[in-house]
Amino acid sequence: MREETIRSGRTRIEWARAHMPIMERIRARFAVERPFEGLTIGICLHVEAKTGVWVETLTAGGAKIRVTGSPGSTQDDVAAALNEMPGVVAFGARRETYEEHLDHCRAVLSGRPDLIADNGADLHGLIAVEVPFAGLKGTLRGATEETTTGGYRLREEMPPFGFATWVINDTRAKRVVENRYGVGSSVVDGLMRATNLMLHGKTVVLIGYGYCGSGVAQRLRGMGAHVVVVDTDPMTRLEAHLEGFRTLPFDHALPIADIVVTVTGRTNALDARMLALLPDNCLIANAGHFATEIDLPHLRALAVETVQVREHVEALRLQDGRRIYLVAKGNLINLAAGDGNPIEIMDLGLALQSLSLEQLARHGRALPAGVHSVRADIEAEVAALAVRAWVDEAPAAA
Ligand SMILES: NC(=O)c1ccc[n+]([C@@H]2O[C@H](COP(=O)([O-])OP(=O)(O)OC[C@H]3O[C@@H](n4cnc5c(N)ncnc54)[C@H](O)[C@@H]3O)[C@@H](O)[C@H]2O)c1
């Protein structure tokens, strides 16, 4: 059984590797230059096949790795395969709770990493408040943070750290390529896989029309859905309107929804008052980083009966008689019900991570401490690598 699980994880990683030419190029250089020789990298990023290829790349550069994923998105077979790689320890499981996830983050940090690659700022959060990890503020060479939500948390909620944290999400490359195009397509894929329902003709209310939301809106429109945009920012609503989407205040939008998708990066974007407005048989899903975008404690408190009707869909019968379908327990639908963003897209995103960590390893504490964007020359290099792989050297260009 265990052997089978490991084999399945390796097969997934092989498929991803075969479609990640940018990572291959970086791995070849890292294998010669060994920028991470003698260093340990602590990682919190969705443990799935593309992350597996990235871990191989970092180990080729000499790194030892301690890695964990996020609740609901870990592919257990990939975690098993990673644990078989020399120099790699993987924690985490698909069915873990958020508290268990934090324990896995603690396990990552207890290896006293020299660099961290964070997602949602969970590793930073522990370093900020837990005594056993406080010493890392003085020893870490630097950190990366992958996502929008982590960027918000680092800038709005956390004290300064003594090292540099580079926010991958600040780059146009990540926001446009991954958030808009990657999340746009993978959320539609996740919705379809989870439900096996037709999107054509459905009214989908999208809460949040930022980089991710605008991509989701475009792809849903392509599938024939009627997209209604809800956003707290008037300028963003204007943009959605000019793009040809209907945009309504939430009290007008929610009662007409067949499907609601949250993708704001904020807690309770679908709160108790809004849940009361949903029509019978409405399906709700989240694509934002944390499952807290939907007020799940309130929803579950309203439920008199919950039935698992498909692998990723629960039907909740509420006290007032309505039935609400919750997808993937409110976890990011594209990762929980699907395989996350397309492989090629993550090839670019993980290249940004790799080259950023390389610079942090080489220059570490000589770099300005605090939360910064990735350097412009790194972004330009990654964009050039992507153009070479996807356009200039793509088979169709030959
Ligand atoms: N599922 C994935 O694979 C994936 C990938 C990248 C990012 N993310 C996550 O998706 C979320 C959104 O990221 P983004 O890059 O699109 O962010 P963004 O900042 O570009 O957009 C967020 C939008 O939500 C709006 N908003 C904020 N609070 C709101 C509220 N209460 N109600 C309605 N609208 C509200 C904002 O005005 C903004 O337009 C984040 O949590 C991010 O971490 C998920």
Average pLDDT over residues 51-62: 98
Please indicate, yes or no, whether residues 287 and 212 belong to a single structural domain of this protein: yes
Residue 93 Cα to ligand 1 midpoint, Å, equals 25
- pLDDT band for 8, please (50, 70, 90 cuts): very high
CATH value at residue 187: 3.40.50.720
Cβ–Cβ under 8 Å, residues 89 and 66: yes
Statement: residue 22 has pLDDT above 80: yes
Please indicate, yes or no, whether residues 71 and 32 belong to a single structural domain of this protein: yes
Q: In 3D, which of 103, 13, 93, 111 has the Cα closest to residue 54?
A: 13
Please indicate, yes or no, whether residues 319 and 191 belong to a single structural domain of this protein: yes
| Inside any domain, residue 375 | yes
Statement: residue 287 has pLDDT above 70: yes
Statement: residue 398 has pLDDT above 60: no
Mean pLDDT of the chain: 96
Please indicate, yes or no, whether residues 212 and 327 belong to a single structural domain of this protein: yes
232 in contact with ligand 1, CB cutoff 6 A: yes
Please indicate, yes or no, whether residues 220 and 131 belong to a single structural domain of this protein: no
**CA distance readout (Å), 140 to 75, 122, 310:** 28, 16, 44
Average pLDDT over residues 125-131: 97
334 in contact with ligand 1, CB cutoff 6 A: yes
Of 315, 336, 357, at which residue does a domain stop? 336
Please indicate, yes or no, whether residues 237 and 135 belong to a single structural domain of this protein: no
Q: In 3D, which of 69, 187, 294 has the Cα closest to residue 178?
A: 187
Question: Quick one: DSSP state of residue 375?
Answer: P
| Inside any domain, residue 398 | no
Statement: residue 126 has pLDDT above 80: yes
Residue 148 Cα to ligand 1 midpoint, Å, equals 7
Q: In whole angstroms, give the CA distance from residue 398 to residue 394.
A: 7
211 in contact with ligand 1, CB cutoff 6 A: yes
Q: Based on the structure, what is the number of domains in the chain?
A: 2
Average pLDDT over residues 300-322: 98
Average pLDDT over residues 86-103: 94
Q: Which atom of ligand 1 is nearest to the CA of 46?
A: 3
% of the chain residues with pLDDT over 90: 96
| Inside any domain, residue 330 | yes
Residue 236 Cα to ligand 1 midpoint, Å, equals 12
Residue 262 Cα to ligand 1 midpoint, Å, equals 8
Please indicate, yes or no, whether residues 245 and 123 belong to a single structural domain of this protein: no
113 in contact with ligand 1, CB cutoff 6 A: no
Give 378's contacts (C-beta < 8 A, 6+ positions apart): 352, 355, 356, 359
Note the pLDDT tens digit of each residue in 330-343: 999 999 999 999 99
| Inside any domain, residue 277 | yes
Q: Which atom of ligand 1 is nearest to the CA of 210?
A: 21
Question: Quick one: DSSP state of residue 180?
Answer: I
Strand order in the sheet with 164-167: 88-90, 64-68, 40-44, 115-118, 142-145, 164-167, 370-373
336 in contact with ligand 1, CB cutoff 6 A: no
**Protein residue whose Cα sits closest to atom 39 of ligand 1:** 210
Give 163's contacts (C-beta < 8 A, 6+ positions apart): 137, 140, 141, 142, 143, 364, 365, 369
Full residue range of the structural domain in which residue 125 is found: 2-170+342-392
289 in contact with ligand 1, CB cutoff 6 A: yes
Residue 358 Cα to ligand 1 midpoint, Å, equals 28
pTM attached to this predicted model: 0.93
Q: Which atom of ligand 1 is nearest to the CA of 230?
A: 33
Please indicate, yes or no, whether residues 100 and 249 belong to a single structural domain of this protein: no
Alpha-helical (H) ranges within the chain are: 2-17, 21-33, 49-60, 76-83, 98-109, 122-129, 136-139, 148-156, 172, 183-195, 211-222, 234-242, 250-253, 272-275, 296-302, 333-336, 343-363, 376-387
Please indicate, yes or no, whether residues 257 and 191 belong to a single structural domain of this protein: yes
Statement: residue 125 has pLDDT above 70: yes
Strand order in the sheet with 323-327: 246-247, 226-230, 203-207, 259-262, 282-286, 323-327, 313-318, 303-310
Please indicate, yes or no, whether residues 199 and 118 belong to a single structural domain of this protein: no
Please indicate, yes or no, whether residues 359 and 278 belong to a single structural domain of this protein: no
**Protein residue whose Cα sits closest to atom 33 of ligand 1:** 231
Tokens matching residue 170: 């600040």
| Inside any domain, residue 176 | no
Statement: residue 397 has pLDDT above 80: no
Residue 179 Cα to ligand 1 midpoint, Å, equals 9
Q: In whole angstroms, give the CA distance from residue 338 to residue 46.
A: 12
Helix (H, G, I), strand (E, B) or coil at 108: helix
| Inside any domain, residue 230 | yes
Q: Give the model's pLDDT for residue 142.
A: 98
Statement: residue 395 has pLDDT above 80: no
266 in contact with ligand 1, CB cutoff 6 A: yes
- pLDDT band for 360, please (50, 70, 90 cuts): very high
CATH value at residue 133: 3.40.50.1480
Q: Which atom of ligand 1 is nearest to the CA of 209?
A: 39
Note the pLDDT tens digit of each residue in 252-273: 999 999 999 999 999 999 999 9
**Protein residue whose Cα sits closest to atom 5 of ligand 1:** 179
Residue 211 Cα to ligand 1 midpoint, Å, equals 7
Tokens matching residue 348: 């670019």
Of 303, 320, 336, at which residue does a domain stop? 336
Number of continuous H segments (helices) and E segments (strands) in the chain: 18, 15
Tokens matching residue 258: 């067949």
Q: Give the model's pLDDT for residue 283.
A: 98
Amino acid at 87: G
Of 336, 359, 384, at which residue does a domain stop? 336
| Inside any domain, residue 117 | yes
Please indicate, yes or no, whether residues 159 and 60 belong to a single structural domain of this protein: yes
**Beta bridge partners of residue 227, listed in sequence order:** 204
Q: Which atom of ligand 1 is nearest to the CA of 175?
A: 15
Statement: residue 71 has pLDDT above 90: no
Tokens matching residue 376: 């412009």
**Protein residue whose Cα sits closest to atom 20 of ligand 1:** 210
| Inside any domain, residue 397 | no
**Protein residue whose Cα sits closest to atom 19 of ligand 1:** 210
